[in-house]
Amino acid sequence: MSGYVPGEQPKGEGIIKLNTNENPWLCSPEIRDILNEINVANLAKYPDPLCMEVRKVIAEKHEVGVGNIFAGNGSDEILALCIRAFVERTGAVGYFDPSYSLYPILAQIEDVEVRPVALDENFEWQMPENYEASVFFLTNPNAPTGMLFPKETVEAFVKSFPGVVVIDEAYVDFARESCIELAVKYDNVLVVRTLSKSYALAGIRFGYCIGAKPLIDALYKIKDSYNINMLTQELARVAILDDGTMTAITSAVKGTRELITKELNDLGFKVYPSETNFVWVKPPKPGAKKFFEELKKRNIFVRWFDGPRTKDCLRITVGTNEQMMTLVEKIEEILEK
């Protein structure tokens, strides 16, 4: 098998990195304070295997029980555990095409069948009749399209679906609504969140999911004993307690998103309505692949995905206003060539 290929992590001066949806803003100032307070002697001990202190804070934030929360080493760990927990050898994994390209690879690792559902030309969905899978990964807002599926549509789907629906809300803090209540209302729904995007903390590796206790218990049975290190547990706790910083930096990103949407529209790009910290765009001539290459030559990294549904588009992370202005300048340069 071929493994997952993460976005490039180029090193060097003057590079504008808009290819992995990192947040350009600084995380909570509480993080710096807590790093200074951490007792180094405690690093000799194993961390709490159940991650109780963070789960208490998450329970309060979402008004659910601690027993309805699973904490993971990034949400990617949770996605992998969902396949191991909920898919038998003869089962199948479902997801939309295009969506997060990690899902089929996680299925391949476990040697189980995949049943992707192709989105239509507007990147919207129509479920095939009698569709079944053990687990369905529903990315909402979707990536790489940035579009939000309405809660009513998602609810109608989870009601009729016989397996576990994992709603991947990696970008939901940039969106107008969340499906988190479905995880409380239905016993076949897990909602997955991450600190990597909206909290500007991709480096600490922390994600969590919310759902019915039997699903959460199953994940706890099969996880690594000490899946989240002690430093991350501390940092995640103070970051979630300081939700104000997250709200402020996501608002800033949304402001810049509006700005870049308008600029790119004016330059003849089709910009899909984004509810995330990236924009999914269809460039004019010379086309997506050429723009990807030409921008890279100019030290701007964006993401281009080969494949019938994605090859005409680019995914561009919303950076700072300054980075977006440089992007616009370089695009103008390429258009004039």
Ligand X SMILES: *Cc1c(COP(=O)(O)O)cnc(C)c1O
175-194 binders of ligand X (CB under 6 A): 194
- By CB under 6 A, tell whether 168 contacts ligand X: yes
**76 is a site residue for ligand X (CB under 6 A):** yes
Could you give the string, one character per residue 133-152, with x where binding to ligand X holds by CB under 6 A and - elsewhere?
Answer: ------x---x---------
Q: Taking the complex as a whole, how short is the minimal distance between the CB of residue 308 and ligand X, in angstroms?
A: 20
Minimum distance from residue 251 beta carbon to ligand X (Å): 20
Task: Give yes or no for residue 250 binding ligand X (CB under 6 A).
Answer: no
The DSSP line for 9-25 is ---STT-EE-SS----S
Nearest-angstrom CA–CA distance, 294 and 288: 10
- How far is the CA of 169 from the CAs of 16, 120, 179, 295, in angstroms? 26, 21, 8, 29
Cβ at position 98, least distance to ligand X in Å: 11
Q: Which of 95, 100, 149, 174 touches ligand X by CB under 6 A?
A: 100
Binding-residue total with ligand X (CB under 6 A): 12
CB of 192 to ligand X, least distance (A): 7
Give the pair of three-digit tokens for residue 306. 């080969």
* Angle at which helices 230-241 and 243-266 cross, to 10°: 80
For residue 179, give every residue at least 6 positions away whose Cβ sits within 8 Å of its Cβ, in sequence order, or none.
Answer: 140, 151, 154, 155, 167, 169, 172, 189, 191
Phi then psi for 243, rounded to 5 degrees? -65, -20
Interhelix angle 288-297/321-336, nearest 10 degrees = 110
* Residue 6 Cβ vs ligand X, minimum distance, rounded to whole Å: 10
Q: Which is nearer to ligand X, 100 or 161 (CB)?
A: 100
Q: Footprint of ligand X on this chain (CB under 6 A)?
A: 74-76, 100, 139, 143, 168, 170, 194, 196, 202, 207
